[in-house]
Structure 1
């Protein structure tokens, strides 16, 4: 039994769940929750809220899930009701609901057991309580390792044996992760506001507390135990994630600047994983956009935060981006997925290194910065970050001019970013945790065209390598042939796709063609470490064709201040069978871009979109 004195029958919860199943009105649903919360002791309201949410604790705590699959659950039901596993499976299949199967079997087993002796008619069933159910389910979740399956089955069977048929139905559904009552966070907050806040007018205060402290059970307990004034005092807490601020989306740069009030920060929207980094002394936590604890995936980021966040306590937000340490090029989001899948995280760190680009400060040494304007937050962020290549501030500019926004957008795309974020700077530009609004606007226009075929490009320059490629060339500047002007126009800088032997041979391959200055037939804005006479042709593939203010291929043909470039280019092979004039032409790239252009306004990465 719990050390907590306060408790309540879990049957009250089961009754509410059953009644909610039969209604479709959210108002009625809220009224039923209000009735339930009236009967709930403040000491256990957190547990009641968790059970309503179908969880034992917030996901971000990183604690184990219940870890009981259908087969184990069938065994537990069979053990609790005295029937065979085949009988449980058969009934579940016919009803389409393992919870209902448990309910029916419990009804029958209760009837059978009551027919055994006269004494059983007068015996009272031990009433299951919220604490008993919650604590048993916690023990089920915490049972790990050898022999844990048997422990889980015995604990669940014991619980189901004590449960009424109705209680058994909802316990089984809870364990399955299919509670089916459809009670959302908003409905829970409305009910809490009605009971403890004097009405729905208190809802925004409760929601703000929840946005700053992403644990609705904890917020409910503060409200029920200490009142609305205590909820107003809720501040960010290091180690507890803040629900992230979200952005709207527009494709017209003029309209975007108008929406944010004219003056704005324009910053790169990186193609990475949004991360909220918490630091307290030497302890560091990292939470994803969905508030999952992803600290274990990024021990290198933990170390970077320890060494380069100059604060005792801080919560900062940024983007973790994969990159190629030998070329410095950013890599697409998909590269980070290897971090999730690799069991040996230390080898993953070497294979898939990352950079961190920070863009916000939410809390610092006891001060809540979510209530400060963006210029104040950014200024303080600049102060507390000891910038190094792998841990720095996101690239950004401040402007109120449409042409500068557009130019910076194209620069971002050409450097591997997804687009830009435009952020308001006016007096109301606070950090709106958990809210999507017009203070932040994504600009991700349809200036990208999916690349489905390879192209043949000409080497016109080379860049010295870094890291493992030190002392070698790490990347090449590639160009298309403009057959109308008889010049070579740059398209991309390629550093991926080369094998070690390719890199070893590069100095020898390039040596006959190296020059002190740009060849007169090369048109380039980008300056390589070494210029190369246009003679060597290579086959290149990329993720997509895009527009770039940096590259000169077909400059001005699609857009007045941009050329065509390749996002995430990769070397395939040399083409010694082709002369430079046989390379893909600038006009061919324009045609490919226009033919394959796909509207991406509606495309997002579901887990990582801001």
Structure 2
């Protein structure tokens, strides 16, 4: 504030905010301690009590009054680009307002914002420090303490502006893993450690922050750059054998006999027993990152040798726990449960508490709480809430940690970050997703008194098409998947069709981003073909002249056009501009078939039409109210009604094959049954939920037997949670995702899906009844599979919809 009156106003607002927050907290505590709490519970057959594993910290969690319209909730996370998993299981009819939306409401004071979004578990509770702790030399130098001051860090010797040792990252990872293994781990404590790690890097050498972030999420570059380390366990084993002077057989024996849970622990065990004549120079963050980048670019006959040599160098330089995390990084499995959304939240907190230097103009402020005059705890908390919301929104629109970290290091606040990190052609936007529904009446109930439209739901692959003009005047066209993977090489025919369209439109387009579905298509019969045909197309190096399965692109939304982001405009406007500016090319580019409607009869008739047109069903979307494009949200404003839903589960599941059983009878010689699992991103583990043996063709069984032969592993992976009753004939490495339909879900004594989330189930998990294979999801990675929390939500929703669940 530039004037005294402004400062006074700010102080009054903050004072009001404190009062509002305090009243809310005291009310919450009274409710929690009420002797009547829990007396009016629903019958036991109508619900399952969920044990909260973590404090809820998601930006979509804040409930408001019943007058609020349906809103969005975050997509449960996939690694990398992954979003935070919600720990509460609220009924779909509970209505909330996104935190980012609450902060932007015009006319709202800080007090009203705090009162609306605070629930007693926000930054205030995470960073609360008592007077004694704030002055304790032990606390302020401890990276696990909320009182931490990065300028006082002493556990590892650090020199400002010098390369930081990898030991710093390994220390933080070990602290997080210790919490997890002790059963004392919580999201709050993990956030504190990660934020303090980032603060330490911001203070000592901010240029290495991006390296730390990528190493923590097991990536080297943004997803759309398709950069992977690309090293197998056999190469890691060879390097370990060479470094530690042990045979590969003895190293793997450490795992099979229980001395080590994985190759990482086996490396640590081997290193402890290894005599060292000379201490090698410490491995630095930047050195490890750059070596991994070199490995990812290795090609040709000598590439495996180069990778092994690099791994050898890194393991020789490793000290303490570093070897364990280096090996896990190479495997792509850190096993500490760090999610992308947790990284984003920790970054926001770090940049509020530790303000980065700005060249010679301003020195780094290691701990804003020690400035004089120091900002109040509530002012810091509000700033954290605002920056967290802005950080998550920025990453949804521009999923690039490089861009995000650069903006934060420049000193950008929430408002500046939103402007700097907005939709940009060439950087894929996290797509908006839909909520499944089971009936037309459910759709009408959700959209009561709201104008909506229905579109055919095409059975293809989500394709986000970007077009822009480079500084040199060259036109670029790229195609991205729902997970930000670059699919341009897979779809040269789509690029060619876009080029043709651009050449015939009335008004030139310089830049655009369209959301669409790429669908297998018979151009002679003008008909949509099954998804399985599309999945047979190679993902890279497709040659136009060799294409056997033709594709038609069905655009349904406009995200960006000629320098302007369209995501804040309603769907009606976006669709009108899309259809006005683009032109259809028959059988190559056709707008998604859509119709505005408001009655059950109209929906039923249109639904029947869509099925007859070889589509999966309908997408139903609000046109005017709450009709903006919400990146990365699975929204209640977009609903999907699939033909499979009307007689069973409201949604299919995306599961990971982790084991196989040999077939019998006519299936002799191949795997006849597969063991499938959900993924728990919080624990970093796969939990079994069914065996599937139906839905397979003979051709599929032959093909996948050949595929999985190369993925057979000698023993169960440490991150597979499977009971002894479900031990398969062979264990498989997690490499694929399969879409599975089932009749319903039930509590199972032999499966472990979501067992860690069910209170009072005696270790039982959720299992699928009558599962059936639908298709392989080539657009998803194992970490993108249905999560254990989603599985439990689906189980509970059965009771609300009248299912048995038993």
Query: For the residues of structure 2 that align with 1:343 and 1:237, how far apart are their CA atoms?
Result: 26
CA distance 1:164–1:84, shift in 2 (3 Å): same
Structure 1's 607 and 70: CA in aligned 2 closer, same or farther, altered over 3 A? Answer: closer
Instruction: Identify the residue that residue 587 of structure 1 maps to in structure 2.
Output: none
Q: Aligned to 2:498, which of 297, 305, 321?
A: 305
Identify which range, 314-323 or 438-447, moves more after superposition.
438-447
1:374 CA drift (Å): 0.7
SS of equivalent to 2:527: coil
The equivalences for 1:401-480 within 5 A come to 401-445=599-643
**1:343/1:220 CA distance change after superposition, 3 Å:** closer
Distance 1:159 1:608, change over 3 A: closer
- The 3 A distance-change label for structure 1 pair 604 and 225 is farther
Q: Structure 1 residues 305, 39: closer, same or farther in 2, change over 3 A?
A: same
> Offset of 1:59 from its aligned partner?
2.4
TM-score (norm: length of structure 1)? 0.69
Matches within 5 A, 1:176-255: 176-197=331-352, 198-228=383-413, 229-233=415-419, 234-255=421-442
- 1:4-403 counterparts in 2 under 5 A? 7-23=163-179, 24-41=185-202, 42-63=206-227, 65-94=228-257, 95-109=260-274, 112-114=275-277, 120=278, 125-197=280-352, 198-228=383-413, 229-233=415-419, 234-260=421-447, 261-281=449-469, 282-309=475-502, 310-340=508-538, 345-346=543-544, 348-349=546-547, 351-389=548-586, 390-403=588-601
Contact 1:268-1:417 at 8 Å conserved across structures: yes
Q: Which moved more, 1:222-231 or 1:161-170?
A: 222-231
1:203: Cα distance to partner? Answer: 1.8
In the alignment, the residues of structure 2 paired with residue 392 and residue 153 of structure 1 have an alpha-carbon distance, to the nearest angstrom, of 49
Return the alpha-carbon distance in structure 1 between the equivalents of residues 333 and 645 of structure 2.
42
Contact preservation (8 Å) 1:257, 1:264: no
Deviations 1:91-118 (A, max 9, x none): 3443241111211222232xx224xxxx
Consecutive unaligned residues in structure 1, runs of 5 or more: 115-119, 451-597
Please identify runs of 4+ aligned residues in structure 1 that moved more than 4 A. 341-344, 445-450, 598-610
Q: Is the 8 A contact 2:461 2:519 kept in 1?
A: yes
Cα separation, partners in 2 of 1:601 and 1:214, compared to 1, 3 Å: farther
**Kept after mapping to 1: 8 A contact 2:584/2:590:** yes
Pair 447,292 (structure 1): closer, same or farther in 2 beyond 3 Å: closer
User: Displacement, 1:6?
Assistant: 5.6
State the 1:125 CA deviation.
4.4
Partner of 1:467: none
Compute the displacement of 1:16 (Å).
Answer: 1.0
Q: Which residue of 1 aligns with 2:760?
A: none
Provide the rounded CA distance (Å) in 2 between the counterparts of 1:79 and 1:604.
42
SS in 1 for 2:536: helix
Deviation at 1:319, TM superposition (A): 0.7
1:512-554: per-residue Cα shift (whole Å, max 9, x none)?
A: xxxxxxxxxxxxxxxxxxxxxxxxxxxxxxxxxxxxxxxxxxx
Counterpart Cα distance in 2 of 1:292 and 1:74: 30
Cα offsets for 1:461-512 (capped at 9, x unmatched): xxxxxxxxxxxxxxxxxxxxxxxxxxxxxxxxxxxxxxxxxxxxxxxxxxxx
Q: CA deviation at 1:603?
A: 8.0
Alpha-carbon displacement from aligned partner over 1:41-90 (angstroms, at most 9, x marks no partner) = 33222221111111112222122x21221121112122223344444333
Aligned equivalent of 1:586:
none
Structure 2: unaligned runs, 5 residues or longer: 1-159, 180-184, 353-382, 470-474, 503-507, 649-768, 785-806
Pick closer, same or farther for the CA change 1:139–1:449 going to 2, 3 Å.
same
8 Å CA contact 1:102, 1:172 repeated in 2 = yes
Deviation for aligned residue 1:14: 0.4
**In the alignment, is the contact (CA less than 8 A) between 2:490 and 2:539 conserved in 1?**
no
Tell me the distance in 2 between the aligned counterparts of 1:387 and 1:138.
42
Aligned with 1:55: secondary structure? coil
- How far has the Cα of 1:331 moved from its partner? 0.6
Rounded to whole Å, the distance in 1 between the matches of 2:342 and 2:249 is 39
The RMSD of aligned alpha carbons is 2.8
Q: Which structure shows the bigger proportion of residues in strand conformation?
A: 1
Flag the 1:204–1:342 CA change in 2: closer, same or farther, 3 A.
Answer: closer
Which is worse superposed, 197-206 or 317-326?
Answer: 197-206
Shift of 1:384: 2.3
Quick check: 1:140–1:156 contact (8 Å CA) kept in 2? no
- Relative to structure 1, is the Cα distance of residues 285 and 600 closer, same or farther in structure 2, using a 3 angstrom cutoff? farther
Any conservation in 2 of the 1:257–1:263 contact (CA below 8 Å)? no
DSSP 3-state at the match of 1:151 = helix
- Return the alpha-carbon distance in structure 2 between the equivalents of residues 300 and 54 of structure 1: 33
Distance in structure 2 (CA, Å) of the matches to 1:57 and 1:312: 27
d(CA) in 2 for partners of 1:157, 1:62? 25
**TM-score where L is the length of structure 2:** 0.53
Q: Is the CA contact 1:446–1:601 (under 8 Å) kept in the aligned structure 2?
A: no
Q: Are the counterparts in 2 of residues 445 and 600 from structure 1 also a CA contact under 8 Å?
A: no
What is the DSSP-based 3-state SS (H/G/I as helix, E as strand, rest coil) of the residue aligned with 1:276? strand
Contact in 2 for aligned 1:47/1:217 (Cα 8 Å): no
